[in-house]
Every structure is written in structure tokens, then in C-alpha cells.
Structure 1
Amino acid sequence: MNPLEFRSDYAHSSEGLAELTRLIYDVFEVDVSVLDRLGHDPSVVAFGWWSDNELVANVSLYKRSLWLLGEQVTAFGVQSVAVRPEWRGKGLFRDLMGRALNYADARVDLIILATDTPSLYKPFGFRQLKETTFSARLTQRQALPNYRVLSLDEDKDVALLRDIFSRRAPASLVASACDHSALFMLKAARTSEMELLYLLDLDAVVAVVGRDGPSITLLDIVAESIPSLDEIVSALGYTGEEVNVHLTPDRLSWVPDKQIPVDNGYMVRGSFAPEARAFMLSNMRV
């Protein structure tokens, strides 16, 4: 094998993005090339080992803007952690995590990630968060739909999303994120059952699943002014039996019937103020 070179200068070059996209696809079979059109997060900082022109191991950070118990907190998220199989067992993952965490620790007090393999990150001081989903039965109502289905294949709809993201208010003051739109759009692009709906009178975009079924799930809200859940359900013209909310509902003027603890994959390193409360961060990320 060729000798390795450490680099952290490639996150926003065409060469670097192409190699990072290839690495993520080869390791996880996840195609993130759609972000070339939808827009990459400009805050990403990548740490990688290269063999000639091939990226063989990567850990990336991206800036997170969180609202936690009424305070706006800047954090870093960890993403795109990948090592090619033939380069595993050589300490590259541990080395890159150390470099990334040293960078983040010098700048913020909180680091957050989402993973299906928490045992990999506990040695670095990360601990798992327990989140909560919220739900309630719905009373019968008259259907008065007033929305437009958005398509990420339409430039005008992508422009609309970018505009609303640029003036987005926190969906919750207890626990929510006002991050760049990249991961939100990537999640929507990769989830065929999800719909992005623009509520015209409310100037709000909602991500939902199950709009035509007996139970609808609200995944996220992007708006300058957060509407109530009743306003959202009315604008959707939804006449089903139940609504499930996968975000912290303190700004929705709504009291859920049920709260169900879930492991949504989040881990944190540092102080996370809502940890002892019922909350959910949006899982609009890949």
C-alpha cells in the first residue's frame, strides 16, 4: 500500500467532495451526490487520510445551531465517519476522531453525533441520549387543505426551501436545531415516503409521513413563525385519527396524549441542558 498523507483542506474543493462522496457510497451505499445540486453545508471541516488521490478514511465536523432550554448554543456535529475496509485496523478512525475532537473542543462546549454503533464512540466520551415521541388523537374536522407539495427536482422549490431556511425560527425552545438545509434536504431526497409540503397561508414547510393514512407523523417544521399544530393539521386538510410529532412540541400550542421514549441514535459529548426532560431533536439527517 502507498504511504498515507493527512489532509484537512478538501471539504469544499470539487476533488475533495467527489472523493468524500465516493467514500461514503463505497462504505455505506449512501449516495450524497444530490448535495452537489441542492447545496453543501459551508461549515463542514473534514479530516482525512489519503493514499495518493484516494480518500481512505474520513471524519467530518459541521457547525450546529441548537436551541436548548431557551438558549442558543453553537455546537459541532460529527458526520461522514468512514474507513475503507482494506485500511481498517490501523488506527485511522481513532486518529481522525482525536484530531476532530481536539479541533471542536477548542471552539465549542458541545459535540453531537447520530449513530447505530454507540460502542464506537463511548471511548471518546460520548453518551447516549434518550428522546421522546409525542402523539394524540384528533377530533374530526372539516377538510380545508391549503398547501403545495414541494419537489427537490424543481429549482423553484429548492429556492423556496433555501429562503425559508435563511429566516428559520426554532421549532422548539426546549430542544431544536436551526442548522443549514443540507442534511434536511438529503434526508428528504432519500426518504421516498416523506413529503415536503408548503403551507401557503402559514409560509411554513413541514416534513410529514402518512398524510393519506389514519395516522400522520410530523417530522419537522421550517418557518419564520412557528404555527400551532392545529393550524398545521387544518392547512393539510388532514382528517385522520392520530398525529405523531417527532420534534419537541413546546411551541405547537398542543398537549400530547402519549409520550414514548425512543433511542433515536443521538450521542453527545459535553453539557446538554434538556437531557433530563422529554424532548426530540429533528431526525432530518442522514
Structure 2
Amino acid sequence: MSSKDIDRSGLTFRRDYFDDLKAWQALVDLLKDTFDIDIGPLQQMGRPDPSSMPFGWFAADGRLAANLSAFAMPLVINGRTVNAAAFQSGAVRPPWRGLGLYRDLTQKALAWCEEKGFEAIVLYTDKPALYEPYGFRSLSLHAYSGNAPVASKAQLPARHLDPLTKTDLELLRAALKTREPVSDVLAVRESAAMFVINTQLDPSVRISWLRREQAAVAWKMEAPGHFRLLDVVGADIPSLATIIAALDIDAGVVDVLFCPDKLGWSGQAQPLESYTHLMIRAPRAIAFDRPAMLSPMADF
């Protein structure tokens, strides 16, 4: 079914609507109803990524029937900066499924990316077969696990950051603007909005500020002695031993959810167990120099 064959009765196509608060709320409602994900706090935490371009079909009552959004997401892959875009917030409400709306939005988003000159597009999905006809291919992702390094007592213990408070949010956003990619194998260069909203989507995520290193750390404790490092945001990446010392935690086992090439530590790469796939559309096949994954704080 081509876009011209879609039954648009009662529907209106719109793009670039994030400045319309009613339309934005319609997207918030769509994602809440479809995935039980609440992106509403993003408006109070710096707003959506300024490069975002949403594409949507709206019903006469203001509901968003179908949506797909694209935004710029520069990546580092094998040491090279890749001018990449990302697709997110793809959903169709049940009454309008099977009409070809999502196919139409995908084609519009792909055309926009081509117009903007992006060299690659990435997305997360639990339905990879849906995107394979458009040239997307799944990437093999790995986390790292191993024993914690020996950590001495930190001179300046880390403090907790609450991104919902103004001063902590400003500190975090300033660090995100000047961050070094957390890995040279696979990492985001920017994507501040995704990091900020991801601090709110998982209540178990902790954000700590390492005062001497001027770096923010996203982390969890999976169980007593089991430390999980999700991301590090700073102009320089501190070592894993420094991070554990600053957090002042008892860590015996460590999981690092990105390639730890800058942490002064090497664990064992383990295939990532996830129902979602990271997919990429690029002119050439992508193979990482080492096993890697994108930090969960870059999830989109």
C-alpha cells in the first residue's frame, strides 16, 4: 500500500509539532497508552531534542493515531564520528492499525533523513522484521562482567544528583554538552535529552556527581556487592576504580553496559539479553572492533 492509497478519512498529517503543547501531549498519551512509558517530564527537563522531527497522523478529536519521530544522534563507531539519526516513538493506536499509516510515516522519516544528509539511521525495536525491508540490520550487542578493581578511599566522595531539581539538572546538562564519548567502540556524542529522560524512566537508576573528576555516573546495585555501571558523563572518563571509590560502595562483581575501553578495566564480554534489537541502516555493513553496546542511558 503506497501513501496515496491510505484511507485518511478523519485524519490529518502533521510534522514538526513539538511546539504545540496539545500535540505534544497527544504524543505523551500515545506512548503512555501503547508502551506505558511517560515522556511528559521531558518538557520540564529541557524539552525534547532540538533536532527532533516528529511525523504524525492526528484524528479529528486531537488524538495522535500514528507517530514516528526522527532526531540527530551523532555516534562514535570504531573511533570515527558518524553523522547518524535515530527513529523513536513509533506507534499506532489499535483503531488505525492495518491502514498503512506506519509505513507512510517510515517513508516520510527516511526521506527527511536523506534530505538532511545523515549517513546512518539507528533504532530500537522488538520487531526487527518490520524494518529489514528498509535496509535496517540488527547489531550484535555485548555487556561486560567481571571482578571489581581494588579501589582506595576517595578524598572527595560523590554526591547524589536529582535531575528534577533545577541546580542539579543544570549541572548535569552542562556536563552532557561537553561530554567525551564513554567508549571509542560505540557511544553517543550528544543526545542529552535521552540521558535526562532516562533518569526518570527507571526508578532504580542512581545519578552521582564525582566532584574531583567533574563527572556524572549513572549506576545501579543489582544486589549487595553487585555493581552495574550504565554511563559516565564528563570531559574525561575516570577509571572504574576511581568511580567505585568515589561512590564508596562495596562492589565485588561489576557489570558495565558499554565497552569499557576507557575505564582501565577489562571484563568478560557477554551477549546482551534483551527483547529489543538495536538496528542500523548504513551504506556499509557495521562490525565493531570489540564487543560493544550503547549505554542504556542513550536508549530512545
TM bin (shorter chain)? over 0.9
Q: Is the aligned partner of 1:191 residue 2:197?
A: no
Distance 2:114 2:290 in 1: 25
Q: Are residues 1:108 and 2:118 paired?
A: yes
Residue range with higher mean Cα deviation, 8-17 or 186-195: 8-17
Q: Percent identity?
A: 34
Query: Of the candidates 248, 268, 271, which is equivalent to residue 280 of structure 2?
Result: 268
Q: Please name the residue that 1:119 is paired with.
A: 129
**Is the CA contact (8 Å cut-off) linking 1:24 and 1:80 kept in structure 2?**
yes
Name the aligned partner's letter for residue 21 of structure 2: S
Q: What code does the residue aligned with 1:128 have?
A: S
Deviation at 1:29, TM superposition (A): 1.9
Give, in angstroms, the shift of residue 2 of structure 1. Answer: 4.5
**2:149 and 2:241 in contact (8 A); partners too:** no
Number of residue equivalences: 285
Which deviates more from structure 2 when the two are superposed, residues 32-41 or residues 48-57?
48-57
Is contact 1:175-1:274 (8 Å) kept? no
| 1:179 alignment partner, one of 172, 187, 190 | 190
Q: Distance in 2 between matches of 1:211 and 1:28?
A: 24
Give the aligned residue type for 2:164: D
1:9, distance to aligned residue in structure 2 (A): 3.0
Name structure 2 gaps, 5 residues minimum: 1-7
1:244 pairs with 2:251: no
**Mapping for residues 94-173 of structure 1, pairs under 5 Å:** 94-106=103-115, 107-138=117-148, 141-144=151-154, 146-173=157-184
Corresponding residue for 1:61? 70
> Structure 2-normalised TM-score?
0.89
Match of 2:45 in 1: 38
Aligned residues of 1:69 and 1:273 also touching (Cα < 8 A) = no
Q: Does the 8 Å CA contact 1:47/1:59 hold for their aligned counterparts?
A: yes
Deviation beyond 4 Å, 4+ runs, structure 1: 139-143
Aligned residue for 1:251, secondary structure, equals coil
What residue number does 1:88 align with? 97
Change (3 A) 1:140 1:211: farther
Q: Which moved more, 1:223-232 or 1:203-212?
A: 203-212
Change (3 A) 1:65 1:194: same
Which AA in structure 2 matches 1:136? G
In 1, are the aligned partners of 2:185 and 2:289 still within 8 Å (CA)?
Answer: no
Q: Deviations over 1:54-100 (max 9, x none)?
A: 32111100110111111111111000001111000100011111111
Deviations 1:233-281 (A, max 9, x none): 221123321111111111112222x111125521111146444631111
Match for residue 207 of structure 1 among 201, 218, 222:
218
Alignment correspondent of 1:9: 16
The Cα shift of 1:143 comes to: 4.2
Amino acid at match of 1:283: P
Deviation by residue 1:204-225 (Cα, 9 ceiling, x = unmatched): 0010010872110100010011
**Pair 1:274–1:204, CA change in 2 (3 A):** farther
Contact 1:58 1:82 (C-alpha < 8 Å) held by counterparts: yes
CA distance in 2, matches of 1:163, 1:212: 32
- State the alpha-carbon separation in 2 of the partners of residues 139 and 27 from structure 1: 42
SS of 1:23's partner is helix
Question: Which amino acid in the other structure matches residue 184 of structure 2?
Answer: L
Kindly indicate whether the alpha-carbon contact (under 8 Å) linking 1:140 and 1:239 is maintained by their aligned counterparts in 2.
Answer: no
**8 Å CA contact retained: 1:220, 1:282:** yes
Residues 10-63 of structure 1: per-residue CA shift (max 9 Å, x gap)? 133223212211211122221110001012211110111122233211110011
In the alignment, residue 278 of structure 2 is paired with which amino acid? Y
